[in-house]
Amino acid sequence: MTAAGDGHAPVASSPAPPLLDVRDLRTGFETDRGLVKAVDGVSLSLEAGRTLGVVGESGSGKTVLSRSIMGLLPRRGTVREGSVRFEGTEISHLSPKEMRAYWGAQMAMIFQDPMTSLNPVMKIGAQITESIREHLDVSRDFADDLAENLLASVRIPEPRRRLKEYPHQLSGGMRQRVCIAVALACGPKLLFADEPTTALDVTVQAQVLDLIRQQQDERFMAMVLITHDLGVVAGRADEIAVMYAGRIVERASTSVLFADMKMPYTEALLSSIPKLGEPPHSRLATIPGRPPDLVNPPPGCKFAPRCAYVQDRCREEEPPLLDASPGHQYRCWFPVGTPEGAAAFERNRRAGLVAAAAIAAEPVAAGPAAAPPSDAAGG
Amino acid sequence: MPEPPRDLLPGTPGDVADELVADSLAGGTAIGGFETELAAVALGPEGRRRKGLGIGAWIAIGWMVFIVGVAVLAQLGLLPVGSPTNVVASCARKGPFANDGTASGYLLGCDGNGRDMVARLAYGSWSSLVVSTGAVTFGFLIGGFLGLIAGYVGGKIDTVISGAFNVLLSIPAIVLALALVAYLQASTKGVSGNQSGFFHDPKVILILAIGVVSVPLLGRITRASALSWSQREFVLAAKAQGARNGRIMVREVLPNVLPAMFSIALLGIAVAIVAEGTLAILGVGVKPPTPSWGNIIALERGNLNSSPHIVFEPAILIFLTVLALNYLGDVVRARLDVREAGI
């Protein structure tokens, strides 16, 4: 995560480099207004077989981060700096031609919307075998058998028949299973799941997430699970990185993050999850305001305009990533759950700051540590 | 998928098909009464996208099968008609309803030289169809190839290809075709004295000339469609699985672009039939005595007063064929519109 970031990983003593090591990755898009800094100095590392949850609201740079790591962004108009190491090999400067050896075979991606990430005029079987035949030197029959096994392993009934069907003949959940099968086809070591359940019914979400988890365990595959929903990563990620305005603002192992969050943004995200215990028709908690302009970001902390704890210092000086405990970093001058933070919050509440008033109405979130969602402990 | 650009086809009788559809809807209203009217209103402009093909499409298909069948059978010598070049001087300019007994064996009368109009039209349909489909096939392949590359690759390559298309489009189509015919005739004559080679066939020259004119029309449709399909997520997904660009173009993008290309190609054949006739009237069409719909009109256009049937018979064939093709083009577009058919 940071320069000293490897120290927290459970296998840190191993001399082998981490599966994925990203350092100070910056990705921007040239526009008429100027450079949009979508990813601004992100560092992270991921060991084989582990899961990193990347959480943030729309426009926080989650998707750009994953595509930038994979090198899938269009070259034209994109500025990309920093280092991406995969199994110790620097891949950030490789051409698309050289990256093709990694795409599909070493790292794969599941996209958000299964409605648009399958080709409507190609049979399911052809879409799965396409990458198998590209990367593995196997016969057509063998690839077909492999595709059938893959469909069976993502629990699609009658896989042999489905191979000959078109995407429109499948339901949304089935299509996302097909997308998972496509991504898994060549046995990648690293899987990016970019909001894999956002387009699905809530009833299917858990099934698909469990399926991804199960496949991950069977294949000892590392995963970057991107989502805007803390509830999705709570039980499934080993570590969580919270992104805001293209930066990581808090990073910790899942249990630590939910038990001892330091960043007001994390707290605000958590308190905006509706809770079952609330009476009907209660007002849903929101984070007031909107993410900052990424062309001309304000000085100081990027979250300051929306923060319940904001002080003058936050508007002038950007906090660096500070260590709370080994493996737990945050970016805040007045962190949640500290005397400074409590004092800052109290000052704002008395002054009638909108953000503070919104959080004060939330009995859970105003405390030093918000209760994690029920399945958080398992993470 | 973009609307087939009516505006790109100057003089396209595409509106005719729309009117036909509108007429058929209106006719249905009058006959079917209130329920049909409700249905027509509820379906609105999408009304023609129904399950079956509809009677109009079947009539159009029937007509095209008939015309193509006649052309092929005539060319194979299997059609029970006389020779298109057999002259019976006494029948010259006799209309189909001539009562003096001289032209009794000729269903559609005779032309200015006393040749059987049925045979002339049957054999002529071969020339007209070969030239028009050949030209559109040429445009389909070349324009489709260039358009696909321009739309998928983009950048400088797109700028160059689109620029070339625009230059070609800026020249009036008939002027361009005339110039190309003149150039091709001159240059093939220069190659050798032998006038019987492949490139000396006037039909081949016409195919090339009209084909070049149709390249930018088909190319721009393909480019626009390929551009929008290339930005779909499944293209990125294929890329993320390590597919090569060529493979993505051919296997992911092209199948989605083909419906738009086919529907515009059908309209293009209709335009090419008219273009062949126009070039014939301007004196550079299929060379007599080989008949084509265009040169039958061209030969006798001065005698419209005395023997109108010679001009009107091929003109009616052209009209019906163009109408059928336009209608089919619309039907194909409506039915194969993958995006709206629900992905």
DSSP B324: H
| Residue-wise pLDDT tens digits, A71-104 | 888 888 899 999 999 998 899 888 888 898 899 8
CA-wise closest residue to A172 among A197, A154, A195: A197
Contact at CB, B234 and A118, closer than 8 angstroms: yes
Domain ranges of chain A: 20-240, 263-274+284-360
Q: How near does any CA of chain B get to the CA of A184, in Å?
A: 10
Contact at CB, A182 and B233, closer than 8 angstroms: no
Q: Does A152 touch chain B (CB under 8 A)?
A: no
Q: In chain B, what residues touch A167 (CB-CB under 8 Å)? A: 343
List % helix, strand, coil for chain A (3-state, nearest 5). Answer: 35, 20, 45
Beta-strand runs (E) in chain A: 20-31, 34-46, 51-55, 78-86, 89-90, 107-110, 190-194, 222-227, 239-244, 247-253, 322-325, 328-330
Residue A113 is nearest to which of B233, B240, B251, comparing CB atoms?
B233
Lowest mean pLDDT among A307-311, A323-327, B36-40, B309-313: B36-40
**Local mean pLDDT, 10-residue blocks, chain B (343 residues):** 43 41 39 38 44 82 92 82 71 64 63 78 88 93 94 91 93 89 77 58 86 92 91 89 89 89 88 88 81 84 80 89 89 67 41
Search chain B and give the residue with CA nearest A106: B241
Q: In chain A, what residues touch B240 (CB-CB under 8 Å)? A: 70, 72, 103-104, 108-109
Q: Does A169 touch chain B (CB under 8 A)?
A: no
Residue A130 is nearest to which of B233, B241, B256, comparing CB atoms?
B241
Tell me the percentage of chain A whose pLDDT exceeds 90.
30
Q: Which residue has the higher pLDDT, A379 or B326?
A: B326
Contact at CB, B237 and A109, closer than 8 angstroms: yes
CA atoms within 13 A of residue B257's CA, in its CB half-sphere? 31
Task: Report the distance separating Cα B26 and Cα B47, nearest Å.
Answer: 12
Which pLDDT value is given to residue A251? 92
| Residue-wise pLDDT tens digits, A331-345 | 999 998 888 888 888
Report, as an integer, the average pLDDT of A294-302: 87
Which pLDDT value is given to residue A27? 93
> Which residue bears the tokens 């794969």?
A108
In the three-class reduction of DSSP (H, G, I as helix; E, B as strand; rest coil), residue A186 is classed as coil
Contact at CB, B241 and A182, closer than 8 angstroms: yes
Q: How many interface pairs between A and B have CB atoms less than 8 angstroms apart?
A: 80
Identify the residue among B156, B234, B235, B262 best suited for mutation to test binding to A, counting A beta carbons within 10 A and taking the highest.
Answer: B234
Q: Is B100 exposed, middle or buried (0-12, 13-18, 19+ CB in 10 A)?
A: exposed
Contact at CB, B240 and A103, closer than 8 angstroms: yes
| Residue-wise pLDDT tens digits, A15-67 | 678 899 999 999 999 989 889 999 988 999 999 989 999 998 888 889 999 99
Lowest mean pLDDT among A2-6, A160-164, A215-219, B53-57: A2-6
Q: Does A109 touch chain B (CB under 8 A)?
A: yes
Identify the residue among A119, A122, A176 best suited for mutation to test binding to B, counting B beta carbons within 10 A and taking the highest.
Answer: A119
Which pLDDT value is given to residue B166? 93
In the three-class reduction of DSSP (H, G, I as helix; E, B as strand; rest coil), residue A200 is classed as coil
Identify the residue among B156, B158, B241, B340 best suited for mutation to test binding to A, counting A beta carbons within 10 A and taking the highest.
Answer: B241
CA-wise closest residue to A308 among A264, A350, A367, A274: A264
Tokens matching residue B70: 């006649």
Which pLDDT value is given to residue A287? 84
Task: Report the distance separating Cα A250 and Cα A151, nearest Å.
Answer: 37
- At B223, the amino acid letter reads R
Residue A130 is nearest to which of B154, B243, B256, comparing CB atoms?
B243
Which pLDDT value is given to residue B41? 39
Q: Sign (positive/negative) of CA torsion B59, B65, B71, B76? A: negative
Which pLDDT value is given to residue A328? 92
Q: How many CB atoms lie within 10 A of CB A79?
A: 14
CATH superfamily, domain at A20-240 = P-loop containing nucleotide triphosphate hydrolases (3.40.50.300)
A69, A192 contact by CB (below 8 A): yes
Q: How near does any CA of chain A get to the CA of B132, in Å?
A: 29
Q: How many CB atoms lie within 10 A of CB A218?
A: 10
CA-wise closest residue to B301 among B276, B324, B326, B283: B283
> Which residue bears the tokens 């029959």?
A141
Cut 0.80: pTM above it: no
**How many residues appear in chain B?**
343
Q: Does A136 touch chain B (CB under 8 A)?
A: no
In the three-class reduction of DSSP (H, G, I as helix; E, B as strand; rest coil), residue A261 is classed as coil
Q: Sign (positive/negative) of CA torsion A279, A282, A284, A285? A: negative
Search chain B and give the residue with CA nearest A169: B343
Contact at CB, A179 and B240, closer than 8 angstroms: no
Which pLDDT value is given to residue A108? 93
What b/e sequence results for A152-186 when a residue is b if at least 16 CB atoms lie within 10 Å of its CB, and e otherwise?
A: ebbebeebeebbeebbeebeebbbbbbbbbbbbbb
Which pLDDT value is given to residue B135? 93
Residue B241 is nearest to which of A104, A113, A116, comparing CB atoms?
A104
Residue A120 is nearest to which of B238, B251, B343, comparing CB atoms?
B343
- Which residues in chain A (112-131) have CB-CB distances under 8 A to chain B? 112-113, 115-122, 126, 130-131
Contact at CB, B242 and A76, closer than 8 angstroms: no
B12, B341 contact by CB (below 8 A): no
The yes-or-no verdict on residue A368 having pLDDT over 90 is no
Residue A194, CA distances (Å) to A53, A225, B271 in order: 10, 6, 48
Residue B251 is nearest to which of A102, A109, A122, comparing CB atoms?
A122
Tokens matching residue A152: 């069976």
A87, B310 contact by CB (below 8 A): no
Q: In chain B, what residues touch A122 (CB-CB under 8 Å)? A: 251-252, 255
pLDDT range class, residue A115, cuts 50, 70, 90? confident
> Which residue bears the tokens 């150039």?
B183
Identify the residue among A67, A121, A226 best suited for mutation to test binding to B, counting B beta carbons within 10 A and taking the highest.
Answer: A121
Q: Does A163 touch chain B (CB under 8 A)?
A: no
Which pLDDT value is given to residue A10? 46
Q: How many CB atoms lie within 10 A of CB A94?
A: 16
Which pLDDT value is given to residue A55? 92
The yes-or-no verdict on residue A372 having pLDDT over 60 is no
